[in-house]
Amino acid sequence: MPETESIDIEWPAKRVRDTFAKFFEEKNHVHWKSSAVVPLNDPTLLFANAGMNQFKPIFLGTVDPNTALSKLTRACNIQKCIRAGGKHNDLDDVGKDTYHHTFFEMLGNWSFGDYFKEEAISWAWELLTEVYNLPSDRIYVTYFGGDEKTGLGPDNEARDIWLKFLPPGRVLPFGSKDNFWEMGDTGPCGPCSEIHFDRIGNRNASSFVNDEDPNCIELWNLVFIQFNREADGSLKSLPAKHVDTGMGFERLTSILQHKNSNYDTDVFVPIFDAIQQATGARPYSGKVGPHDADKVDMAYRVVADHIRTLSIAIADGSQPGNVGREYVLRRILRRAVRYGREVLKAEEGFFNGLVNVVANVLGDVFPELKQNEERIRKMIQVEEESFSRNLFKGIRKFNKAVEHVQGNILSGEVAFELSHTFGFPLDLTQLMAEEKKFSVDIEGFHRAMKAARERSKTAPKKKVLSLKSNVETLSIPAAKKAENKIEIVLPQDQMRKAQKHVAEEDKRKAVKITTEKADLAVSDGKYFCISHVDVGLDVAAVREAVKKVIDQKGLSVMVFSTDESTNKAVVCAGVPEKGDKGKLDASEWLSNALGPLKGRCGKGKGGLATGQGTDASHLNEAMGLAVKFASVKLT
């Protein structure tokens, strides 16, 4: 890699951001603060993964008219984004190349029923070529070329605007896959136009556009939201047309700093320096694939990316854990710790020590990092210490298993043992197997997990019954038999006490999580909140959470909990006796949400309704429906 240059950088990261914001502010855009990466009242998302996420209520027509958001006609922002799960997931690619990240910044500008294609395209061209001074002969653009299957014609309007700036050979048509954007199966959608940049230059790079070539990269996507996808699949023109754009900050910075990789910019170099100082590893050299034989450069990229992601997510209120986005963060942390300890030969505790450099690099634009630096570091430290205790035992177990593999598939039983006993997430085991040219039996892993759960449910009861039966057959005095039976009953009592303790913990956990969600909803001016708590099929805990939030916060609330072993879900909805009850009916709200879960709702009493679903795999869809239904009723 490229060593850090001693001369001043013409386009340091801060100047890149500030220039973008200033350009659009001068064109009457409101500079809107980045939302948290932990989505507020949008359970369809694991993390905020695009700048438009916080503006969805405007596009969907559900925005609260009493908020500042509803008054926007033009906006720009620098959005924190994480893509590490769900539809957009870059986690598996991080480290393997020089341009994927789980955390990144998205520069965006929006028009809500104001300007449209002419301004969006001409301003993008002006900013790139006249302000950032990118060479225009390296710019290629794409537009929607039509789709015969759906009967959609080409976006000739966008094409003709681009032809004012570029020759026809660099204005390229593509189909729906690349150039038609949709929010979901239904809802706002429209054609888009992508701006690509050729890092090399002095050549015709049109054949490399949309061809996964790292030297001809997509830089900026301009989305023209002009249709609504109806439930029957048809498209209707929207009365108000919108513009939604997103440009990769790290990619733009690498171009402006004349680097061939995002990781060679001043966004990452200080973090690499801190990693080298903490681990004593050789300097980063930017190699990938077979050229990176010792995997050290890949480890640098993984560790640097992952400490950024974790720091941002924890600063915004999340934490590593066992379910949903929290489990994604735990996987990210353990992946980074494994690379640091095994590949970079770091000492235990190195990872949490990197929080300081992240706060220094990003703290000016995202001050919450500096404000929460010590809390972030301590949370990562606890997780790091927990995983480190079993890390090398797990690695030895893995290496021993690999020696005895028949063929090139690691058994699901071994993968499950690594997960259950040593804390290795499945994707970490898959990555380690891939490094040794093996794959993992995923179906076998899930079978082993299911079998273990079944055993844990039945084993204690069977053991007690077996012991009682054995005592009856013994040839010992009756008094001794009675004494032995008492000793057997004691574990039963202990088990009942343990079950009672678990139930109490479930209630505390459900109430705590839902109350935190309610506080966020109140701070955002919402009249309802949706919560997902990890208490299995404990209906009592879920109902308790609903009742507490109604009593304490006066909000309408719906709480979901799922059981992975049975793929079932329990859901409880409640509305306050006063206020929302007339607008929102708990049973109707719950019935609507239970549709994707294939569930039924019982009759509600006292503003509460409870139901159970038999297909928890559609949880996000169900929670999304709950949000949409309540938004419409309470607006």
Overall average pLDDT of the 498-526 stretch: 80
Residue 386 CB-density burial (10 A; 0-12 exposed, 13-18 middle, 19+ buried): middle
**Residue 75 forms part of a structural domain:** yes
> Whose CA is closest to 50, among 37, 32, 67, 69?
37
Q: Where a domain ends, among 203, 231, 256? A: 256
**Residue 424 forms part of a structural domain:** no
Co-location of 229 and 150 in the same domain: yes
Co-location of 23 and 144 in the same domain: yes
Co-location of 231 and 297 in the same domain: no
Co-location of 26 and 68 in the same domain: yes
Question: What residues form DSSP beta bridges with 560?
Answer: 532, 571
Overall average pLDDT of the 217-245 stretch: 90
Any idea what the CATH number is for the domain that residue 573 is in?
3.10.310.40
Q: What is the pLDDT of residue 470?
A: 64
Query: How many Cα atoms are found within 13 Å in the side-chain-facing hemisphere of 393?
Result: 12
Phi, psi (rounded to 5 degrees) for 214: -65, -15
Phi, psi (rounded to 5 degrees) for 264: -95, 5
Co-location of 236 and 282 in the same domain: no
**Residue 4 forms part of a structural domain:** no
CA 345 vs CA 52, 280, 357, 396: distances in Å: 41, 8, 20, 16
Q: What is the pLDDT of residue 493?
A: 59
CA dist., res. 633 & res. 425, Å (int): 41
**Residue 64 forms part of a structural domain:** yes
More confident of the two residues 236 and 165: 165
- Select the highest-mean-pLDDT range: 77-81, 520-524, 603-607: 77-81
CB 192 within 8 A of CB 221: yes
User: pLDDT tens digits, residue range 408-431?
Assistant: 888 888 888 888 888 888 878 888
Co-location of 376 and 304 in the same domain: yes
In percent, how much of the chain has pLDDT > 90? 52
Co-location of 244 and 282 in the same domain: no
Q: Measured on CA atoms in the order 332, 305, 180, 74, is the torsion positive or negative?
A: positive
CB 124 within 8 A of CB 220: yes
**Residue 500 forms part of a structural domain:** no
> Whose CA is closest to 272, among 250, 303, 251?
303
In percent, how much of the chain has pLDDT > 70? 89
Give the length of the chain: 635
Any idea what the CATH number is for the domain that residue 210 is in?
3.30.930.10
Domain that holds residue 156: 13-256
Q: What is the pLDDT of residue 43?
A: 64
User: pLDDT tens digits, residue range 426-481?
Assistant: 878 888 888 888 888 888 888 888 777 776 665 555 555 556 566 566 556 666 65
**Residue 150 forms part of a structural domain:** yes
Residue 494 CB-density burial (10 A; 0-12 exposed, 13-18 middle, 19+ buried): exposed
pTM of the predicted structure, to 2 decimals: 0.72
Co-location of 385 and 530 in the same domain: no
CA dist., res. 49 & res. 91, Å (int): 13
Q: Where a domain ends, among 341, 362, 390? A: 390
Both tokens of 500, joined, read 């009672």
Co-location of 327 and 249 in the same domain: no
- Give the distance from CA 374 to its chain's centroid: 23
157 falls in which pLDDT band (50, 70, 90)? very high
Output DSSP code: residue 284. Answer: P
CA dist., res. 260 & res. 286, Å (int): 10
Number of C-beta neighbours around residue 167 at 10 A = 8
- Give the distance from CA 625 to its chain's centroid: 19
Domain count, the chain: 3
pLDDT of 499 over the 70 cut: no
Co-location of 39 and 160 in the same domain: yes
Co-location of 518 and 594 in the same domain: yes
Co-location of 252 and 275 in the same domain: no
